[in-house]
Amino acid sequence: MMEILAVLGFPLLGGALLAIWGERRWAPEFNSATSLCTFLAASLLAFRILVSGPLIVLNEQFFVDSFNVFLVVLTAFVSFTTTLFSRPYMRNEQILSSLSSQQLRLYHSMYQIFCFTMLLALLTNNLGILWVAMEGATLATVLLVSLYRSRESLEAAWKYFILCGVGIAQALFGTILIYFAAEKVLGAGGTALLWTHLDAAKGSLEPTVLSIAFVFLLVGYGTKVGLVPLHSWLPDAHAEGPTPVSAVLSGLLLNVALYAVVRCKILVGGALQNRFADDLMIGFGLLSVLTAAFLLWKQKDIKRLFGYSSIEHMGLMTFAFGIGANFAGLLHMTVHSLTKSAIFFAVGHAVQHSGTKSIDAIRGLIQSPAVGWGLMLGGLAILGMPPFGVFTSEFLILTHAMQSHPWATPVLLVALGVAFASIFGKVQAMVWGEMEGKTLPHAPAFLPILLHLGIVLILGLYIPPHLARWYHEAARLIG
Amino acid sequence: MSAFGLFTQILQLLLSLLLAPFFLGWLNQCRAWLQNRQGAGIEQPYRKLGKLFHKDAVIAESASPLFRMVPYVLFGAMCLAASIVPSLATDLSFSKAADAIALAGIFALARIAISLAAMDIGTAFGGMGARREMLVGFLAEPALLMVLFTASLISRSTSLTVIVETLAHRHFEIYPSMAFAGIAFLMVLLAENARLPVDNPASHLELTMIHEAMILEYSARHLALIEWASSIKLFAYVTIGIALFVPWGIAQAADWLGMAFALPILIAKLLVAGAGLALIETLVAKQRIFRAPEFMGTAFLFGVLGMLVHFLLGA
Amino acid sequence: MAGQYINLLASILLLLAFAMLSQRRIKSLINLFMIQGMTLVANTVVIASTTGQTHLYYSALLTLTLKVVILPWILYRMIRQLNVEWDVETLINIPSTMLVGIAIVIISFNLALPISHLAGTITRGTIGIAMACVLLSLLMMITRSKAISQVIGFLSMENGLFFAATSTTYGMPMVVELGVALDVLVGVLILGVFFFQIREKFESLDLKHLEKTEEE
């Protein structure tokens, strides 16, 4: 219980303090420190769960099991490493894009609030609060995306808000329908929205209502996952916001939204006793993978490129959870989150280094070895090259698909092939070649890139038995 | 066919013929008062009819026999319409002749007749008026049907007398569907009777007139019949409105005492309706003719919504 | 009797949704939004008094303060400061929008039919109307190009959802309702700031100017 309060309290308190002092010279360090504390608290929480099993506390409002504690740790970890990256990055930005002190305050404060809403969404046991937290995360990121207040960033933020606002309103309708179905079984009042109670009673929930509810929930939270055809906010928001925000959007927020979808799927699947929810997820997932893979080819903006790549991978995970490859799906969540944020770290420095986001204009990143190699290796990792972890998870998803849905395998292979060709060609061109870049006033942070890629590499070669047991436990919970 | 039925039928028809110009006069008088004018008096339509009947008719050289026939067709159609709408009692001998859908058909017949006559002479105004009339009518008719359907759905019959009887003799309930239908009906009434905001009955401005453009070539008794028919049409519409939306006080079959009360109640309702219409006409401005489809589209929308709401809410 | 009032109020909500769809003037749009809020409050109070669900009184009070007083006040203030009080939006093809609206109503009524059969609440018939209101607001957001009208569309969609919650289940748990209200309020404040920034950068609040970054 103390751990949960700490996990939620640190970012909230940090956000409040940074709203006052966010422009001070030591604010980035304070930001990192807050995230480090959150991460430590999350690790402690995970340890507790591993030792003593699921935890339901505070009037049943919070619920932690292996599934969400693993995402809590991942979220806390990536948000911590992102603050490390953001430290020199934002200092450079302050000079290059002349951010005002007010903007810096907003950035630091909203970053922590954003982490808070994501952790709240993961930890809460109440589907209504889950919705509130997701909407809160949208609002916080809208402010982050529009940070530069340029035409493009305002447009991206507006698009993001309207699309996700509309989408998430559909999710609220779905939540209302679930409450409506649950009220009949569990009685009126607070318990009818508590996930643990719903899970226990899922067999007796009304199937018709739940199937309609799931459509609304999938459309709603699916908009935030970035599933095609509801994805059009995602590349814009990734491209126009500050790079640390792109990293946490791709690495974390999409995961949290997918977490919400999966939680709902568990309920609906249990109530319906058929594959309706799974089939919907398979359909949306495949469509996203395919569309995003082919759209990758046309991208000219480096951040949009990796934004589309995120759509592709989120589609793959949705597909994986749809066919029941839960272990592979969870592993892919982890490795994608780590790899994609590492890529965005490298991309951020590359963009600062060359002063442009256009793929055609960025050349010779290898001059700064860590950026060049980081982007190259990150690119290879995200494309599913062995020995990185993405290869393992994609391999597992593909083999599982071959067993249960053989027809989907060629589709996936084509999509992965197209994605490989587009991204590899573009990344290679950017890394090699000749170009005079700027020298940055603050040296880039390499530690986060190395750390992330290192973990992904290790996960590709060897999954520690503790971790594997943990994944299996979580995969079993998803069912 | 009961004696009471026959009696009410004849009484109602006579009443419609006589009261129709009175209602028009009252409406115009209210409008005049609201606009701070003296007004021509309630009896003005009667005087006008009298004057026209005493004149010699002039007919265009190019007119065909159709042109002469139309005023009678029009007048006959409107008399039929007025006699099947229950305004005094729900026991009418003619009521079996036509139901709510046929009523819309009778109005359509009259519209087609007058449009043909307008085009018959071959003047520019006639053709223009006919075209506009058909446009408005074409859009107003579905809306009117939707209103009638909503009422039919509640009473499970398309016969006007049955509808009115059901609506009048059940205990008071709020029907949201009827509220929608009421708004739609009001809009249809305004459009079909050449009132503001679709047409201005007091204007002969060539850019905007619809009804007046069609009857420019008529004179004397023909014009009198047409004017009279239009006033009966307005009267019929108002009594449909009264019958559907405020039917209380209407007499039942063989209810002589009810009959005695029905007439004063009807006249009181007519006075209120006339004043209300005058108020609306004072408050709204004439719309451009191109906005008429939008206006009628809205009426149709309300009609459909009324029906849908009825299906969903059962009320 | 209460059921009749609820049905009437539900119909008024549906009517307001259509009125918003066809309203060209921004100020009138805010008025309509306010009336929508009042209808919701009336509806909630009627349900509360018939069913004896006391928490619904609180939620009615919350709706009253937020949706009838605070949000319209913020919006009025905003349009005055932005000087768009008398702006008229050019809406193309209102009749066909209306037809699409009718289609939406039919679809949502059909979709709601199985749910309303299951509902034991006195308000069962109104679920379809709530769904229709949500989707009509969505349609409104699609057909509008001005930033403020889109936001009003968003807010009226939230109203539709609130109506859905009260009519299907006599309201969500209070903690959720409070959270939703907070989100909406913060959202409107953020968007208010956005209006000024968009105006400053684009010299207009018309989002047609905002389509520079093409969809690739």
Dist CA A143 CA A150 (whole Å): 13
pLDDT at A331: 93
Among candidate residues C75, C98, C96, C99, the one with its CA nearest the CA of residue C87: C75
Q: What's phi and psi for B251, nearest 5 deg?
A: -80, 145
pLDDT at B172 over 70: no
Strand pairing category for A62-64 and A55-57: antiparallel
pLDDT at A147 over 80: yes
Identify the closest residue of chain C to A148 by CA–CA distance.
C197
pLDDT at B315 over 70: no
What the block records as the tokens of A390 is 């993405």
Neighbouring C-alpha atoms within 13 Å toward the C-beta of B283: 6
Dist CA A271 CA A211 (whole Å): 9
Q: What's phi and psi for B70, nearest 5 deg?
A: -55, -45
In this structure, how many other beta carbons lie within 10 angstroms of the beta carbon of residue A320? 28
pLDDT at A176 over 60: yes
To the nearest whole percent, how much of chain A has pLDDT over 90? Answer: 47
- Whole-number Cα distances in Å, A147 to A71, A108, A140, A306, A345: 27, 11, 11, 20, 18
Indicate yes or no: CB of C102 within 8 angstroms of CB of B173: no
- How many residues are there in chain C? 216
The answer to whether residue C65 neighbours chain B at the CB level (below 8 Å) is no
Identity of the residue numbered C202: F
Residues of chain A neighbouring C134 (CB-CB closer than 8 A)? 169, 173
Higher pLDDT, B172 or A382: A382
CB interface of C with B, residues 155-194, below 8 Å: none
Higher pLDDT, A294 or C125: A294
Dist CA A325 CA A403 (whole Å): 11
Dist CA C24 CA A185 (whole Å): 46
To the nearest whole percent, how much of chain B has pLDDT over 70? Answer: 94
DSSP class of residue C216 equals -
Dist CA C17 CA B41 (whole Å): 43
User: Which of A180, A191, A296, A308 best tests the C interface by mutation, with the highest count of C CBs <10 A?
Assistant: A180
Nearest CA-CA distance, residue C143 and chain B, Å: 17
pLDDT at B24 over 60: yes
Q: Which chains touch A (3 or more CB pairs under 8 A)?
A: C
Question: Lowest-confidence range among A390-399, B157-166, B245-254?
Answer: B245-254
Indicate yes or no: CB of C179 within 8 angstroms of CB of A128: yes
Among candidate residues A443, A381, A415, the one with its CA nearest the CA of residue A311: A415
B270 — pLDDT class (breaks 50, 70, 90): confident
Indicate yes or no: CB of C182 within 8 angstroms of CB of A132: yes
Per residue, the 3-state secondary structure of chain B, as one string, reads CCHHHHHHHHHHHHHHHHHHHHHHHHHHHHHHHHCCCCCCCCCHHHHHHHHHHCCCCCCCCCCCHHHHHHHHHHHHHHHHHHHHCCCCECCCHHHHCCCHHHHHHHHHHHHHHHHHHHHHCCCHHHHHHHHHHHHHHHHHHHHHHHHHHHHHHHHCCCCHHHHHHHHHCCCCCCCHHHHHHHHHHHHHHHHHCCCCCCCCCCCCCCCCCCHHHHCCCCCHHHHHHHHHHHHHHHHHHHHHHHHHHCCCCCECCCCHHHHHHHHHHHHHHHHHHHHHHHHHHHHCCCCCHHHHHHHHHHHHHHHHHHHHHHHHHCC
Q: Which is it for the CA torsion A207, A213, A215, A218, positive or negative?
A: negative
The answer to whether residue C14 neighbours chain B at the CB level (below 8 Å) is yes
Low-confidence ranges of chain C (pLDDT < 70): 1, 91-92, 119-124, 205, 207-216
pLDDT at B69: 86
pLDDT in tens, C167-198: 877 777 877 888 888 888 888 888 888 888 88
Higher pLDDT, A433 or C73: C73
pLDDT at C216: 40
Question: Lowest-confidence range among A96-110, A313-327, A330-344, B286-300?
Answer: B286-300
Indicate yes or no: CB of B174 within 8 angstroms of CB of C102: no
User: Which of C110, C111, C115 best tests the A interface by mutation, with the highest count of A CBs <10 A?
Assistant: C115
pLDDT at A41 over 90: yes
Indicate yes or no: CB of A132 within 8 angstroms of CB of C180: yes
Residue C175 parent element (H or E): helix C174-202
A334 — pLDDT class (breaks 50, 70, 90): very high
The answer to whether residue C113 neighbours chain A at the CB level (below 8 Å) is no
Indicate yes or no: CB of C154 within 8 angstroms of CB of A166: yes
> What is the DSSP annotation of A278-322?
HHHHHHHHHHHHHHHHHHHTT--BHHHHHHHHHHHHHHHHHHHHH
- Burial of B310 by CB count in 10 Å (0-12 exposed, 13-18 middle, 19+ buried)? buried
B173, B304, B311 member nearest C4 (Cβ): B173
Per residue, the 3-state secondary structure of A325-389, as one string, reads CHHHHHHHHHHHHHHHHHHHHHHHHHHHHHCCCECCCCCCHHHCHHHHHHHHHHHHHHCCCCCCH
Nearest CA-CA distance, residue C1 and chain A, Å: 24
Beta bridge mates, A120 = none
| Arithmetic mean of pLDDT, A184-206 | 83
Indicate yes or no: CB of A232 within 8 angstroms of CB of C170: no
Q: Which is it for the CA torsion A143, A148, A150, A156, positive or negative?
A: negative
Neighbouring C-alpha atoms within 13 Å toward the C-beta of C207: 20
Identify the closest residue of chain A to C151 by CA–CA distance.
A162
Q: Where are the alpha helices (DSSP H) in A57-126?
A: 66-96, 101-123
Instruction: Match 């002969």 to its residue by tokens.
Output: B204
Nearest CA-CA distance, residue B177 and chain C, Å: 8
Indicate yes or no: CB of B294 within 8 angstroms of CB of C95: yes
Contact A310, A238 (CB under 8 A): yes
pLDDT in tens, A229-276: 888 899 999 998 899 999 999 889 999 999 999 999 999 988 888 888
* Total beta-carbon pairs less than 8 A apart between chain B and chain C: 59
Identify the closest residue of chain B to C93 by CA–CA distance.
B294
The answer to whether residue C8 neighbours chain B at the CB level (below 8 Å) is yes
Dist CA A463 CA A193 (whole Å): 36
Identify the closest residue of chain B to C98 by CA–CA distance.
B301
pLDDT at C213: 46
| Arithmetic mean of pLDDT, B10-20 | 84
Q: pTM of the predicted model, to two decimals?
A: 0.85
| Arithmetic mean of pLDDT, B222-234 | 87
Among candidate residues A106, A171, A179, the one with its CA nearest the CA of residue A143: A106
Identify the closest residue of chain C to A231 by CA–CA distance.
C215
Dist CA B50 CA B44 (whole Å): 10
Q: Which is it for the CA torsion C164, C169, C172, C174, positive or negative?
A: positive
Dist CA B231 CA C27 (whole Å): 40
| Arithmetic mean of pLDDT, A306-320 | 94
Residues of chain C neighbouring B150 (CB-CB closer than 8 A)? none
pLDDT mean across residues, chain A: 89
Beta bridge mates, C25 = C88
Dist CA A231 CA A284 (whole Å): 11
Nearest CA-CA distance, residue A326 and chain C, Å: 30
pLDDT at A217 over 90: yes
* Total beta-carbon pairs less than 8 A apart between chain A and chain C: 129
C115, C119, C210 member nearest A212 (Cβ): C115
Indicate yes or no: CB of C11 within 8 angstroms of CB of B173: no
pLDDT at B246 over 90: no
B293, B301, B312 member nearest C129 (Cβ): B312
pLDDT in tens, A4-28: 888 899 999 999 998 888 888 888 8
Triad C61, C66, C69: Cα angle to 5°: 95
The answer to whether residue A297 neighbours chain C at the CB level (below 8 Å) is no
Identify the closest residue of chain C to B174 by CA–CA distance.
C4
| Arithmetic mean of pLDDT, A162-175 | 89
Among candidate residues A153, A71, A82, the one with its CA nearest the CA of residue A332: A71
For chain A, which residues make up each domain, given as ranges?
321-479
End-to-end CA separation in angstroms for chain A: 27
pLDDT at B171 over 70: no
The answer to whether residue A128 neighbours chain C at the CB level (below 8 Å) is yes
User: Which of C108, C141, C183, C189 best tests the A interface by mutation, with the highest count of A CBs <10 A?
Assistant: C183
Indicate yes or no: CB of C169 within 8 angstroms of CB of A176: yes
For chain C, which residues make up each domain, given as ranges?
2-210
What the block records as the tokens of A213 is 């509810």
pLDDT at A259: 94
Instruction: Determine the 3-state secondary structure of C190 from DSSP.
Output: helix
Identify the closest residue of chain C to B292 by CA–CA distance.
C95
User: Which of A150, A172, A204, A422 best tests the C interface by mutation, with the highest count of C CBs <10 A?
Assistant: A172
The answer to whether residue B312 neighbours chain C at the CB level (below 8 Å) is yes
Residues of chain C neighbouring B308 (CB-CB closer than 8 A)? 102, 105-106, 109
Neighbouring C-alpha atoms within 13 Å toward the C-beta of A337: 30
Contact A9, A58 (CB under 8 A): no
CA dihedral C128, C133, C139, C144 (to 10 degrees): 170
Q: What's phi and psi for A117, nearest 5 deg?
A: -65, -35
The answer to whether residue A161 neighbours chain C at the CB level (below 8 Å) is yes
A113 — pLDDT class (breaks 50, 70, 90): very high
ipTM: 0.89
B touches C, CB cut-off 8 Å, minimum 3 pairs:
yes
Instruction: Match 């109602």 to its residue by tokens.
Output: B12
pLDDT in tens, B69-105: 888 988 898 888 888 888 777 777 777 777 888 888 8
The answer to whether residue C22 neighbours chain B at the CB level (below 8 Å) is yes
Residue A55 parent element (H or E): strand A55-57
Indicate yes or no: CB of B298 within 8 angstroms of CB of C22: yes
Identify the closest residue of chain C to A154 by CA–CA distance.
C198
What the block records as the tokens of B51 is 């004057």
User: Which of C134, C145, C213 best tests the A interface by mutation, with the highest count of A CBs <10 A?
Assistant: C213
| Arithmetic mean of pLDDT, B157-174 | 75
- Whole-number Cα distances in Å, B44 to B18, B24, B28, B193, C103: 13, 9, 9, 19, 48
A182 — pLDDT class (breaks 50, 70, 90): confident
pLDDT mean across residues, chain B: 81
C134, C179, C213 member nearest A132 (Cβ): C179
Residues of chain C neighbouring A129 (CB-CB closer than 8 A)? 175-176, 179
DSSP class of residue A252 equals I
Contact C56, C44 (CB under 8 A): yes
